[in-house]
Structure 1
């Protein structure tokens, strides 16, 4: 039996979730747009800083609070503090390495205490067993794009025609599935699309 997309996204509130893949940032930006209140976005100093204006199609840039951390340990501590405070609707942390079981559990406890959701952007294979869910987000080449898949498809009828494959690869309730989706900026929601029909 396949899991309905609407039953897993938006993400389960007050839990820590993980996302990997080449489109993990897009996944987090969409989640930021669907979150209530401020969004704390944490990244390590060596990474490029996310440009809030670049996420405007997905979320209000004025709701983003950008935080820089010297290393992954500091990023995890910042995420834990932000989660526990309950001052934000979502905490996004861009991480460069493996998340240990202890760190993962601490984040889950902080998310529960602050009633705040976390998204950890992780490298492939770097997740924690404590994560509520783990997703792989990959960009699908547009059908009308050149064979290289590098050129983006233009907007049609005001909709971004970029499609992503969102694969639920870890789920504490045990059900795994995947969907092909696109973002509808006008409706401000994720649309599940037919993979065959685009």
Structure 2
């Protein structure tokens, strides 16, 4: 009869080999019950594609969508591949929401087709925590390829969708993405003195696989990539006897 302790140690070694030394979480939670409880996977699936777009074509909403997406990547586990069409990514800005320049790998693509191909290669590499791309056109075939490349891995795929033309809806076309978000700037958190408080965003989950859409207002990502509920909302929940979950975990 084999020693149970030896068998237990062997099982641990095999599990470590299968996961390359760590146990993969199935999803990346926001740490806010008001969001995670309404997501089918209790957070964003790590082995999946997620799309984000600005709520309008306004530059402020484009920046908000970029920082929302960067905050998600900041909370992922390792290096981040960011694929761009233009050299306009403001590194200090994404650093403020938790992505150190030491974690960032930049790739510049000539067009959307090349950008999507680079994203796919990055997802299949399996050595990255997140792969981000910024595209105007990504049809069902392209997004299905990204979703398939992400499945079975531990690299979250994040696609920032920009309008293909003035007035068009970036996430209006069919997509294989598991979640599709719109991010709109909202009035900043009020301060007791004159000045600009913490930015706020209106998050609209337009679609999710296995669940319903919803809208919620949050305070923008902090230096660790975490959002928070606006203080008035958090205080109201606390008074009602619920869990405020003001800061993301």
Report Cα offsets for 1:64-84 as digits up to 9, x if no partner.
111100000000000000011
* Of 157, 166, 169, the match for 2:203: 166
Q: What is aligned with 1:79?
A: 119
Report the Cα distance in structure 2 between the residues aligned to 1:187 and 1:54, rounded to whole angstroms: 13
SS state at 1:191 partner = coil
Q: How many residues align?
A: 181
Name the residue aligned to 1:182. 219
Q: Map 1:16-27 onto structure 2 (within 5 A).
A: 16-21=49-54, 22=61, 23-27=64-68
Question: How does the TM-score come out when normalised to structure 2?
Answer: 0.65
Name the counterpart of 2:188.
142
Aligned mates of 1:110, 1:77 — CA distance in 2: 11
> C-alpha distance in 1, partners of 2:209/2:116?
21
TM-score (norm 1): 0.81
CA distance in 2, matches of 1:86, 1:117: 10
CA drift of 1:28 comes to: 1.2
The alpha carbon displacement at 1:197 in A equals 8.7
CA distance in structure 2 between the partners assigned to 1:92 and 1:118 by the alignment: 6
Q: Equivalent residue for 2:48?
A: 15
Q: Which residue of 2 is the match for residue 107 of structure 1? A: 146
Q: Which runs of 5+ in 2 are unaligned?
A: 1-32, 55-60, 163-168, 236-249
d(CA) in 2 for partners of 1:114 and 1:163? 32
- Residues in 2 aligned to 1:77 and 1:166: alpha-carbon distance in whole angstroms: 29
Pairwise CA RMSD of aligned residues?
Answer: 2.5
Q: Which has the higher helix share?
A: 2
1:43 aligns with 2:84: yes
Matched, 1:154 2:196: yes
